[in-house]
Amino acid sequence: MTNRNLTTAAGAPVGDNQNVQTAGPRGPVTLQDFWLIEKLAHFDREVIPERRVHAKGSGAFGTLRITHDISRFSKAKVFDTIGKETKIFMRFSTVAGERGAADAERDVRGFSIKFYTEEGNWDIVGNNTPVFFIRDPLKFPDFIHTQKRDPRTNMRDANTIWDFWSRSPESLHQITILMSDRGIPKNYRQMHGFGSHTFSMINADDERVYVKFHFKSMQGIENYTNAEAKKVIGEDRESAQRDLFDSIEKGNFPRWRFCIQVMPEREALARAENPFDITKTWSQKTYPLLDVGVIELNRNPDNYFAEVEQSAFTPANVVPGIGFSPDRLLQGRLFSYGDTQRYRLGINHHQIPVNAPLNPRHTPFHRDGAMRADGNLGGTINYEPNRFGLFQEDAAAREPSQSMEGAIAHYSHRQDDDYFSHPRALFELFDEGERQRLFDNIADAMAGVERDIVERELALFEGIHADYAAGVRRALGKPAPVSETALP
């Protein structure tokens, strides 16, 4: 049997792990007690920066199994055979809370999937909602600042949240989802997932279609009310982590149907409504869901830090046959994730096993850098072109051209001012009970908010539906302002 005795990081045996070395039995500690120093120094550095958003999360490994042929849309090898299985890693999260936040908060849930395909890693970094609060990446830091703590009080502030939302009417669709019954999923298994943005698929003939990704929970949907969630949080801050971990340990493997909506490229360019606007959905009547496969989670990580905390997803990780769209929010994200991961985990984070692709990497120009943990590609040359003809690009991986036109400018995303039709369609689907809970949840979330902010938001709800504004006003117990009540 191998010797399992304790050693230092350098491999030397440790003589005493109970008592520090001191000058005399009651004297001070010596500086030469290097084991104490190594142990404390390592402990002092154990915490790495948490994710700026989605800091609290849970993860698991599993598989994607292809059930339908979509090779007419995408040449990606992950889709090339019915029955094909690809390993995946998924991470779920809440958005606003810090790493120790409670799971059962009213918040959007992150829904990230890393597909370890034979052509490299493909990541979908989505949410449990098909839309988002904003549509221009310049506003993301502002938006997140309103969701996080106030710089002076260090508390979350409902005034800040509603001040921003009431001045950002594009948020109405997502607010309506967040404040609805679906705002507090009971766990990560019983919620749907969405890629949310529009992406491209490219087939073997270099034809492009635009797609949306949907993941339909095969466990059904379950949610908490505010009152239920309060009770759960009082008893268990890790309710979703516990549910996911325990379910997988018991062999109760969660599954989702992986579906796509497809829009031909010509149609996308000709449509009156911008198909690249993440605050809007695509009609499922016009663009029905097409099945692609089933994802299943069936293995818990062995080590949370190594595999979940150090996992790094980015929408920029695509493989040939899958591409982006002009969605300006997506374009901002393509930069932000790799950038934050170079800071959070370091330039060599691709070497961390959970992030490393299964196929061999040939990136001979990425050398050196902090925490280079492999052989640093030994004596392999580190430039191209070279006299050996090494490291040639693969023209087959090139995307077909994408037609765009127009002069460079800061075009206002408010040129499209239809903030209301999509949340209205959703509101009209709600029955009486769902509407009442929506009103009550909004009133709860608005507790203590200044009158002018409330009135600005109510005016936006009025734009969605008179019953929406009236219902929230009733739930708030607030009479309409004098000027409004005076109207006939």
Q: Active-site residues: which are they?
A: 54, 127
Q: Does 178 bind ligand HEM (CB under 6 A)?
A: no
Contacts for 75 with CB less than 8 Å, ≥ 6 apart: 202, 203, 204, 320, 321
Quick check: 277 and 135 in contact, CB under 8 A? Answer: yes
54 lies in the binding site for ligand HEM (CB under 6 A)? yes
Q: Is 217 or 311 the residue whose CB approaches ligand HEM more closely?
A: 311
Smallest Cα–Cα separation from 310: which of 277, 280, 351? 351
Tokens of residue 238, six digits: 């890790």
97 binds ligand HEM (CB under 6 A): no
What is the C-alpha to C-alpha distance for residues 35 and 15, in angstroms, rounded to an integer? 9
Question: Of 56, 91, 208, 237, which one interacts with ligand HEM (CB under 6 A)?
Answer: 91
CA angle in degrees (0–180, nearest 5) for 88-52-332: 75
3 state SS of 255: strand
Interface pick for ligand HEM out of 196, 217, 279, 325 (rule CB under 6 A): 196
Interface pattern 14-43 for ligand HEM (x via CB under 6 A): ------------------------------
**Where do runs of H (alpha helix) occur along 137-281?**
140-147, 158-166, 172-178, 226-235, 239-249, 265-270
Q: How far is the CB of 60 from ligand HEM (least distance, A)?
A: 12
Indicate the residue among 51 and 437 with the shorter CB distance to ligand HEM: 51
Q: Find the shortest distance in angstroms from Cβ 336 to ligand HEM.
A: 4
Verify binding: residue 147, ligand HEM, rule CB under 6 A: no
Check residue 336 for interaction with ligand HEM (CB under 6 A).
yes
The answer to whether residues 343 and 49 touch, using CB atoms and an 8 Å cutoff, is yes
Which listed residue (21, 38, 39, 52) binds ligand HEM by CB under 6 A? 52
- Identity of residue 291: D
**Residue 337 assigned as binding residue:** yes
> Can residue 232 be called a binding residue for ligand HEM (CB under 6 A)?
no
Site for ligand HEM in 358-387 (CB under 6 A): none
Task: Compute the least distance from the CB of residue 103 to ligand HEM, in Å.
Answer: 14
Query: 438, 226 in Cβ contact below 8 A?
Result: no
Nearer to ligand HEM, 342 or 456 (CB): 342
Q: Token pair 């002092």 is at which residue?
A: 44
Q: Does 188 bind ligand HEM (CB under 6 A)?
A: no
Q: Are 180 and 434 in contact (CB under 8 A)?
A: yes
- Closer Cβ to ligand HEM, 142 or 417, answer by number: 142
* Cα–Cα distance for residue pair 295/254, rounded to 1 Å: 8
CA 137 to chain centre: 15
How many residues make up the chain in this entry?
488
Q: Is 219 in the site for ligand HEM (CB under 6 A)?
A: no
Measured CA to CA in angstroms, residue 347 lies from 338, 367, 373 at distances of 9, 10, 11
Part of the chain binding ligand HEM (CB under 6 A), chosen from 72-80, 310-318, 442-450, 454-462: 310-318
Closest to 210 measured CA to CA, from 276, 270, 263: 263
CB-neighbour burial class of residue 58 (10 A; exposed 0-12, middle 13-18, buried 19+): buried
Residue 342 makes contact with ligand HEM by CB under 6 A: no
257 part of the interface to ligand HEM, by CB under 6 A? no
Q: How far is the CB of 333 from ligand HEM (least distance, A)?
A: 5
Contact 419/169 with Cβ under 8 angstroms?
Answer: yes
CB of 370 to ligand HEM, least distance (A): 17
Strands (E), 95-148: 109-117, 120-127
Among 337, 419, 427, 468, binds ligand HEM (CB under 6 A): 337
Letters for 103-142 (x = contact with ligand HEM by CB under 6 A, - = none) are -------x-x------------xxx----x----x--x--
- Residue 4 CA, chain-centre distance (Å), reads 40
Q: Which residues are annotated as a binding site for heme?
A: 337
Q: Which residues are annotated as a binding site?
A: 337
Residues near ligand HEM, by CB under 6 A: 51-54, 57, 91, 93, 110, 112, 125-127, 132, 137, 140, 196, 278, 311-313, 329, 332-333, 336-337, 340-341, 344
